[in-house]
Amino acid sequence: MKIVSFFAGAGGLDLGFQKAGFNVIWANEYDKEIWETYEKNHSDTYLDKRSIVNISSDEVPDCDGIIGGPPCQSWSEAGAMKGISDKRGQLFYDFIRILEAKQPKFFLAENVSGMLLGRHSEALTNIKELFKNAGIGYELSFEMLNACDYNVPQDRKRVFFIGIRRDLKFKFQFPKSNFKKITLEEVITDLKDSVLPALKFNKTNGVECKFPNHEYMTGDFSSIFMSRNRVRTWKEQSFTIQAGARHAPIHPQAPKMKFIEQNIRIFEPGKEHLYRRLSVRECARIQTFPDDFIFYYNSVVAGYKMIGNAVPVNLAEFLAKSIRNQIIQNEVMLQNLHLSNNKINVAV
């Protein structure tokens, strides 16, 4: 089945769908800092580099599915939470505009859990209705998932809209996960002793990294960062990998931060040297990108952003396989029903 991808970023969602057997034929990403990474890791996919606002639906290839994660800053609890009143939040409408014109068998849209906050309830209801009524209409399934339940070593809550075109006559069912929780120890232990700090001004070490992208941002930690414990142990899952480099979790080699008073913690005295941010590659591992997926950037800040904005590959693959299987099962059922009806008509 052929897929087109909007707001593709580095392509975590796209890679998950490819691993599930889909063919991502066309993708769209407006951020020029990401283009090299996407094109070198998705060499068989055509990348359109314009804003979705400037793309006519006629310029988008016909496809079986449309996937994407419209920018989430407008809905984030860590941001201004302007929602649909922010121009970035309004990009949902362009996603729906193209969906309505192309009428693929299905779509998937992902966003942050902040969309569920009460202040966004009216906008969320409107978006759901627009999805349901796009073209001939879609049967919409909507759910919040935590990536840690889907073979991803990270607490990461995100909402997913999955729609099946109404004439296919079924509704997508989010399957239950039976994965065991994966710990930080299982995914990044081998990288512990080969990491490099970023160069001056947090520029990349480039080919000097012993392992691709295995370098971390240096610099001070903000008072907001120091207001909470930012360390998960080896036996736990990571905190959410965010797009902001300054918010990267601390490596599990460090002790948990020491509580002083409300909203104030410190690094354990005498062990300050153990407190470093997770490296770009460690964040990529936690987002379940394979090691041969290389991120290209001049500043490590851009590396963290690409990875933090991505959908974890393993979660994307799980959902993609579920969509594919349910579509195929439905097609088989309809074919069998058609054959059965033909036999009845012949007998009569």
Give 293-332 pLDDT, tens digit per residue. 999 999 999 999 999 999 999 999 999 999 999 999 998 8
- Among 72, 148, 209, 283, the active-site one is 72
CB neighbours (10 Å) of residue 296? 20
Tokens 């202040």 correspond to what residue? Answer: 119
pLDDT tens figures, 59-69: 999 999 999 98
Q: Under the phi-then-psi rule, with left for phi > 0, alpha for psi from -120 to 50, and beta for the rest, what region is 135?
A: left
Cα dihedral 30, 94, 304, 297, rounded to 10, equals -10
Q: Rounded CA gap, 226 and 245, in Å? A: 15
CB neighbours (10 Å) of residue 340? 10
Query: What stretch of H or E contains 26?
Result: strand 23-28
pLDDT at 91: 84
Angle at 329 between CA 328 and CA 333, to 5 degrees: 115
Phi, psi dihedral angles at 281 (to 5 degrees): -65, -40
SS3 2: strand
Kindly tell me if the per-residue pLDDT of 348 is higher than 80.
no
CB neighbours (10 Å) of residue 291? 13
Kindly tell me if the per-residue pLDDT of 337 is higher than 80.
no
Q: Roughly how many angstroms between the first and final C-alpha of the chain, as a whole number?
A: 38
> Is 72 considered catalytic here?
yes
Q: Under the phi-then-psi rule, with left for phi > 0, alpha for psi from -120 to 50, and beta for the rest, what region is 278?
A: beta
CB neighbours (10 Å) of residue 59? 12
Kindly tell me if the per-residue pLDDT of 341 is higher than 70.
no
Kindly tell me the burial class for residue 330, based on how many C-beta atoms sit within 10 Å of its own C-beta (0-12, 13-18, 19 or more): middle
Check residues 262 and 333 and name the one with the higher pLDDT: 262
SS3 187: helix
pLDDT at 83: 41
Mean local confidence (pLDDT), 157-169 = 95
pLDDT at 267: 97
pLDDT tens figures, 202-229: 999 999 999 999 999 999 999 999 999 9
Determine the distance from the C-alpha atom of residue 21 to the mean position of all C-alpha atoms in its chain, rounded to a whole number: 18
pLDDT tens figures, 8-37: 999 999 999 999 999 999 999 999 999 999
pLDDT tens figures, 71-108: 755 554 444 444 445 455 578 889 999 999 999 999 99
Mean local confidence (pLDDT), 260-272 = 96
pLDDT at 34: 97
pLDDT at 177: 87
Mean local confidence (pLDDT), 140-155 = 96
Q: Rounded CA gap, 93 and 89, in Å? A: 8
Query: What stretch of H or E contains 315?
Result: helix 313-347
* CB 47 within 8 Å of CB 39: yes
pLDDT at 192: 93
Q: Report all structural domains of the chain as residue ranges with CATH numbers, in order of start.
A: 2-178+313-340 (3.40.50.150), 184-308 (3.90.120.10)
pLDDT at 76: 45
